[in-house]
Amino acid sequence: MKDITEERYVDGKPKLRRFHQARWDEPIIFELSNEGERGILVPEVEEELKGSVGDVLSRIPGKMLRKKRPELPELSQPRVLRHYVRLSQETLGTDLNIDVGQGTCTMKYSPKVNEQIARMPQVAEIHPLQDEETVQGILEIMYKFEQILKEISGMDRFSLQPGGGSAAIYANASIIRAYHESRGEADQRDEIITTIFSHPSNAACARTAGFKVITLYPNEDGYPDIQALSAAVSERTAGLMITNPEDTGIFNPKIEEFVDIVHEAGGLCAYDQANANGILGITRARDAGFDLCQFNLHKTFSAPHGCGGPAAGAIGVADELGKFLPVPVIEFDGSKYRLNYDRPESIGKIRSFYGVVPVVLKAYAWVMSLGAEGLKEVAETAVLNNNYVLKKLLEVPGVSAPYAKGKRRIEQVRYSWEKLAVDTGVHSEEIGLRAADFGVHYWTSHHPWIVPEPCTIEPTESYSKSELDEYVQIIRNVSDEAYKNPELVKTAPHNSTIHRIDHAPLDDPSQWAVTWRAYRKKVKRDKAGE
Amino acid sequence: MEDEKPTVYPYIPNSVPAVKKQMLKEVGAESVDNLFEDIPEKLRLKEKMNLPKPFVSECALRRHVEGILSKNKTCREYLNFLGAGCWQHYVPSVCDEINQRGEFLTAYAGEPYDDHGRFQALFEYASMMGELLDMDVVNVPTYDWFQAAATSIRMASRITGRREVLVSRTVSADKLSKIRDYCKPQIEAKLIDYDPETGQLDLDSLGAKVSSKTAAVYFENPSYLGFIEVNGDEISKVAHDHGAICIVGVDPISLGVLSPPIEYGADIVCGDLQPLGMHMQFGGGHAGFIATRDEEKYVMEYPSRLFGIAPTMVEGEYGFGDVAYERTSFALREEGKEFVGTAAALWGITAGVYLALMGPQGMLEIGKGIMQRSHYAMKEVSKIKGVRCPAFKSPHFKEFVVNFDGTGKAVREINKALLSHKIFGGKDLTKEFPELGNSALYCVTEVHTKADIDKLTEALKEVVG
């Protein structure tokens, strides 16, 4: 009988699993359509009711009545189910892989119990405009979670309304605008300062909110340049929007001085805490002098990422900015929770109703399973894991960790494969495609690539030492392959659902197709699509 | 000694002390504290955070959270007639089955090779929405209708180079607040009046306000107040005659029976996916869509990701990827279009499942069934003494305004009294639309039976009688 462990060791390869991504060759759903099939029947209308109202469609004026049925696919229920379950199998969630390769995304474990609770009718089947007396439970959870975030950040007031991290950054930019307006300085203070290793949304949201953006670049040690900051601030400075630790994983030790410089110039300081996982219970936004901050509840606070949402952002502010928070705010009078809309200086609405409530609930449950000591354990273990992977990865040929030599990193590390690219012609992106052959994600980095041939690894607290070792082994193996047989890497993936994609049509207006109907018209030139 | 052993956390594999010790040795640190040495001592939190005592077992945690949640009354226990931007529709079991799959639920931003299924499911979502809307480009969902409307307006402003938007005064106050905050630095929003009898957008008011400064005209169908805007053609013509873009916000569940807005001249269509397979979740189930024709000048103004279909090295194999990625803030930071971030993709996949289950016949039947029920409700409620329903003389879809002026009772009182009948009455409009008097916005969908509507009517009679 063949021993599987022998196969794992063949050709002197390290102990890697024989992964192959699911490949169902599942057609596009329209290709599965069979005329007349039904996936679900809608509730029948009682004859008496129908008789009472007559032909309702005749009440729709001719031009407003739909003439041509939408060309949706027609499928039975089991076929729809199988289609989507197959597509799900062709998707590599955190539940399946050692998801440390999407650095800055905090791909941690999302506890199943929290998911099950969030799907109970007491959450799923409540309407946001119900009488407050009937939603005291969910308001209590939201209020209590705000108190938790206040303690974690040191801030005085919170809003859970933003629909994601970027929406929260935008809300903070909007609050900064409102603050300067309230002081009659909005026209003058039209510049936001950020750093190149802060998430792109800090720059993008500031611009969207009407500010000019000044971006600071790192000094040779990788720290944001404090002299550049001093030169950048002026009577035009509205604020600073910054990540710390930055996406390099390096904690800016002069952060308090940064905040002081901006404050002295009359600006506000907003802390993007997307990378907060490694500092929970270690250091707090308010203690460094920040006026505003934001957390991504789908990252640090364990709610699942859902293929890109539902996400949730929480914004925290110092007392004097509380009046600008979005409406409504949740208040507690000692016996009842209520929603207060009477906030004349509020920036207004950032999102419908009160926020992405099921995500807030999952975040609350996660904190309540850990407590203060548990949160600190999260941070400490995430940072230990990160520094462990750093140590191990730097033993791999071709990779380096630029900047801050000899310093510890916090939540993630931005690595560089510059040497490997020079030595072998294999680029960072190609390493990722080969890593996919072993069942793991690998992400390069946000643009622009200040670090050449970058990749960003963020182990979080959710993976065991042996899993981290396995990830490093995969990367080591890909590096070995790059040196011995670069073609193997450059032609990857080999074990994926699909083969190399030709991306050129996606940037060509005459060929791109965002829907099947566009594809039929433009590419298939299929008559039915005309 | 046993008691002093540090807790091992189930979610934190390396919390096992021996493993931690070994790893610390590997990284050359004496203690975990050493790893934080770059954080200035002054900024280090000295005390333990003051947080509630945790429920460390899953059993205790569940009991704690469920205990708090048990204070909520649900729309399963109570009969609900609230809508106003969040609607109670039936959620097919397969929608929940798919969106709780761990593979989809816990995926994020992988390459098309790791996550082919995620890309295909979102491409198919956009494709099915495209059929429903009769449009060729649909985005990966944004946060909600509020954001979709605000972004559509900013897209129109960039395309036309103009800085004014005319918005129908029947949009909700909350949505208008969002639009104003989001458009503030670039665009001024002016309101177009409505006809007090019919609710219809006032074409004279539109004519008086539209100008060569107008980037876009924005209205909704069905309107926030439930009636159908019947003059879509005329409104879009006025916009187009002035070089402006026509944006229509739409409830997608109406599109089995109502014309897709492109039929009456819409250039950009937006709305919320929540009716298509998402539970209400106290307002947590929203996702916004934006759709346009497949013209470069429109496509290049989307801030959202757009997933396109592309060939691979193997003939006949479908691949997917980002269309025109270089317009996004991921690629260009502040030089990109607005910003893009994690929003509501899983609800997009779910809306795709919903449309695949419903098919063309399902969408027609559900639209018709909703109208039959809402019309029955309007008819029955209108028989109550002192009640005017619907308040607007126009065709309606699923929502309608009920005026209680003739009853001498405030909506607030009526709704409190309905609670004792285990009914959630319609949204109180008295602050939002004071000119409508003592009115409420009611919503009836396919979940309501004749008996439910009769129960509402009987309860209202008793309450206002």
Verify that A401 and A439 share a domain, yes or no: yes
In a domain, B442, yes or no: yes
**Count of domains forming chain B:** 3
In a domain, B65, yes or no: no
Q: What is the CATH number of the domain that holds A428?
A: 3.90.1150.10
Residue of B nearest to A34 (CA): B359
For A464-480, write each residue's pLDDT tens digit.
Answer: 999 999 999 999 999 99
Q: CB distance A122–B372 less than 8 Å?
A: no
What share of chain B has pLDDT > 90, as a percent? 98
In a domain, A68, yes or no: no
Contacts of A345 in chain B (CB under 8 A): none
Q: CB distance A498–B312 less than 8 Å?
A: yes
**Count of domains forming chain A:** 3
CA A35, CA B51: separation in Å to the nearest integer?
Answer: 58
Q: Does B131 touch chain A (CB under 8 A)?
A: yes
For residues B123-138, average pLDDT: 98
Q: CB distance A138–B69 less than 8 Å?
A: yes
Q: Is the pLDDT reported for residue A375 higher than 80?
A: yes
Contacts of B145 in chain A (CB under 8 A): 352
Residue A2, pLDDT score: 56
Q: How far is A1 from chain B (nearest CA, A)?
A: 33
Q: What is the mean pLDDT of chain B?
A: 97
Q: Is B400 left (phi over 0), alpha (psi -120 to 50) or beta?
A: beta
Q: CB distance B39–A283 less than 8 Å?
A: yes
Contacts of A364 in chain B (CB under 8 A): 65
Q: Does B116 touch chain A (CB under 8 A)?
A: yes
For residues A312-325, average pLDDT: 98
Please name the member of B145, B347, B360 whose beta carbon is closest to the beta carbon of A352: B145
CA B101, CA A88: separation in Å to the nearest integer?
Answer: 7
Closest of A102, A115, A37 to residue A75, by C-alpha? A37
Verify that B288 and B418 share a domain, yes or no: no
Q: How far is CA B447 from the centre of its chain?
A: 19
Q: Does B413 touch chain A (CB under 8 A)?
A: no
Q: How far is B119 from chain A (nearest CA, A)?
A: 9
Contacts of B355 in chain A (CB under 8 A): 72
Q: How far is B139 from chain A (nearest CA, A)?
A: 8
Verify that B44 and B159 share a domain, yes or no: no
Query: Which of 309-348 (B) contact A at CB < 8 A?
Result: 309-314, 317-326, 329-334, 336, 338-347
Q: Which of A148, A501, A517, A522 to mutate to test the interface with B (most CBs of B within 10 A)?
A: A501
Verify that B39 and B124 share a domain, yes or no: no
For A498-522, write each residue's pLDDT tens digit.
Answer: 999 999 999 999 999 999 999 999 9
Q: CB distance B74–A380 less than 8 Å?
A: no
Query: Which of 147-186 (B) contact A at CB < 8 A?
Result: 147, 174-175, 177-178, 180-182, 184-186
- Residue A419 tokens read as 């040497």
How many other C-beta atoms are found inside a 10 Å radius of the C-beta of residue A488?
A: 15
Give the model's confidence band at A3: pLDDT under 50 very low, under 70 low, under 90 confident, else very high.
low
Verify that A269 and A290 share a domain, yes or no: yes
For residues A422-447, average pLDDT: 96
Q: CB distance B35–A380 less than 8 Å?
A: yes
Contacts of A215 in chain B (CB under 8 A): 333
For A275-284, write each residue's pLDDT tens digit.
Answer: 999 999 999 9
Q: How far is A419 from chain B (nearest CA, A)?
A: 24
For residues A19-26, average pLDDT: 96
Q: Is the pLDDT reported for residue B1 higher than 80?
A: no
Verify that A307 and A411 share a domain, yes or no: no
Q: Does B385 touch chain A (CB under 8 A)?
A: no
For B91-101, write each residue's pLDDT tens digit.
Answer: 999 999 999 99
In a domain, A220, yes or no: yes
In a domain, A163, yes or no: yes
- Residue B395 tokens read as 């065709």
Q: CB distance B109–A105 less than 8 Å?
A: yes
Verify that B389 and B257 share a domain, yes or no: no
Q: CB distance A369–B379 less than 8 Å?
A: no
Verify that A483 and A384 share a domain, yes or no: yes
For residues A440-455, average pLDDT: 94
Q: CB distance B107–A358 less than 8 Å?
A: no
For residues A257-276, average pLDDT: 97
**φ, ψ at A300 (rounded to 5°):** -55, -40
Q: How far is B408 from chain A (nearest CA, A)?
A: 21
Verify that A349 and A218 share a domain, yes or no: yes
In a domain, B236, yes or no: yes
- Residue A246 tokens read as 């930055």
Last residue of a domain, one of B313, B333, B354: B354
Q: What is the CATH number of the domain that holds B209?
A: 3.40.640.10
Last residue of a domain, one of A323, A340, A368: A368
Give the model's confidence band at A525: pLDDT under 50 very low, under 70 low, under 90 confident, else very high.
confident
Q: What is the CATH number of the domain that holds B376?
A: 3.90.1150.10
In a domain, B63, yes or no: no
In a domain, B215, yes or no: yes
Contacts of B99 in chain A (CB under 8 A): 306
For every residue of A283-306, which 3-state class applies, written as one string?
ECCHHHCCCEEEEECCCCCCCCCC
Last residue of a domain, one of B330, B354, B378: B354
Verify that B163 and B293 share a domain, yes or no: yes
Residue A9, pLDDT score: 44
Verify that A309 and A415 share a domain, yes or no: no
CA A85, CA B102: separation in Å to the nearest integer?
Answer: 11
- Residue B281 tokens read as 């979740």
Contacts of A507 in chain B (CB under 8 A): 323-326
For B220-260, write each residue's pLDDT tens digit.
Answer: 999 999 999 999 999 999 999 999 999 999 999 999 999 99
For B399-423, write each residue's pLDDT tens digit.
Answer: 999 999 999 999 999 999 999 999 9
Q: How far is A9 from chain B (nearest CA, A)?
A: 24
Q: Does B13 touch chain A (CB under 8 A)?
A: yes
Contacts of A506 in chain B (CB under 8 A): 308, 310, 321-325
In a domain, B62, yes or no: no
For B313-352, write each residue's pLDDT tens digit.
Answer: 999 999 999 999 999 999 999 999 999 999 999 999 999 9
Query: Which of 411-430 (A) contact B at CB < 8 A?
Result: none
Q: Does B34 touch chain A (CB under 8 A)?
A: yes
What share of chain A has pLDDT > 90, as a percent? 93
In a domain, B57, yes or no: no
Q: CB distance B257–A66 less than 8 Å?
A: yes
Verify that B256 and B172 share a domain, yes or no: yes
Residue A18, pLDDT score: 87
- Residue B360 tokens read as 């063309």
Verify that B160 and B182 share a domain, yes or no: yes
Q: Are A296 and B336 in contact (CB under 8 A)?
A: no
B363 vs A243, A299, A494, B358, CA distance in Å? 46, 36, 42, 6
Contacts of B289 in chain A (CB under 8 A): none
In a domain, B359, yes or no: no
Domain of B37 in residue numbering reads as 1-48
Verify that A451 and A340 share a domain, yes or no: no
For residues A336-353, average pLDDT: 97
In a domain, A456, yes or no: yes
Verify that A424 and A363 share a domain, yes or no: no
Query: Which of 107-146 (A) contact B at CB < 8 A?
Result: 107-111, 113, 115, 117, 119-131, 133-138, 140-141, 144
Q: Does A104 touch chain B (CB under 8 A)?
A: no
Verify that B206 and B138 share a domain, yes or no: yes
Please name the member of A129, A432, A465 whose beta carbon is closest to the beta carbon of B427: A129
Verify that A415 and A516 share a domain, yes or no: no
| Angle made by CA atoms A47, B92, B354, in degrees to the nearest 5 | 105
Q: Does B41 touch chain A (CB under 8 A)?
A: no
In a domain, A114, yes or no: no
Tell me the HSE value of A66 on the side-chain side, using a 13 A CA sphere: 26
For every residue of chain B, which 3-state class applies, written as one string?
CHHHCCCCCCCCHHHCHHHHHHHHHHHCCCCHHHHHCCCCHHHECCCCCCCCCCCCCHHHHHHHHHHHHCCCCCCCCCEECCCCCCCCCCCCHHHHHHHCCHHHHCCCCCCCCCCHHHHHHHHHHHHHHHHHHCCCEECCCECCHHHHHHHHHHHHHHHHCCCEEEEECCCCHHHHHHHHHHHCCCCEEEEECECCCCCCECHHHHHHHCCCCEEEEEEEECCCCCECCCCHHHHHHHHHHCCCEEEEEECHHHCCCECCHHHHCCCEEEEECCCCCCCCHHHCCCCEEEEECCCHHHHCCCCCCCEEEEEECCCCCEEEEECCHHHCHHHHHHHCCCCCCCCCHHHHHHHHHHHHHHHHHHHHHHHHHHHHHHHHHHHHHCCCCCCECCCCCCCECCEEEEECHHHCCCHHHHHHHHHCCCEECCEECCCCCHHHCCEEEEECCCCCCHHHHHHHHHHHHHHHC
Q: Does B454 touch chain A (CB under 8 A)?
A: no
Q: CB distance A52–B376 less than 8 Å?
A: yes
For residues A425-448, average pLDDT: 95
For every residue of A394-453, which 3-state class applies, written as one string?
CCCCCCECCCCCCCCCCCCEEEECHHHHHHHCCCHHHHHHHHHHHCCCCCCCCCCCCCCC
Residue A530, pLDDT score: 47
Please name the member of B39, B108, B334 whose beta carbon is closest to the beta carbon of A204: B334
Residue B45, pLDDT score: 97
Q: What is the CATH number of the domain that holds A277?
A: 3.40.640.10
Q: Does B444 touch chain A (CB under 8 A)?
A: no
Q: What is the mean pLDDT of chain A?
A: 95
- b/e code A55-93 from CB counts within 10 Å (16+ = b): ebbebbeeebbbeeebbbbbbbbebbbebbbbbbbbbbb
Assess: ipTM above 0.90: yes
In a domain, A263, yes or no: yes
**How does DSSP classify residue A15?**
S
Q: How far is B313 from chain A (nearest CA, A)?
A: 6
Domain of A168 in residue numbering reads as 153-368
Q: Which of A32, A77, A83, A127 to mutate to test the interface with B (most CBs of B within 10 A)?
A: A127
Residue B3, pLDDT score: 47
Verify that A198 and A315 share a domain, yes or no: yes
For residues A104-109, average pLDDT: 96
Verify that A410 and A307 share a domain, yes or no: no
Contacts of B62 in chain A (CB under 8 A): 113, 117
Q: How far is B269 from chain A (nearest CA, A)?
A: 15
For residues A20-32, average pLDDT: 97
Contacts of B130 in chain A (CB under 8 A): 514-518
Q: Does B228 touch chain A (CB under 8 A)?
A: yes
Verify that B3 and B136 share a domain, yes or no: no
In a domain, A482, yes or no: yes
Verify that A340 and A418 share a domain, yes or no: no
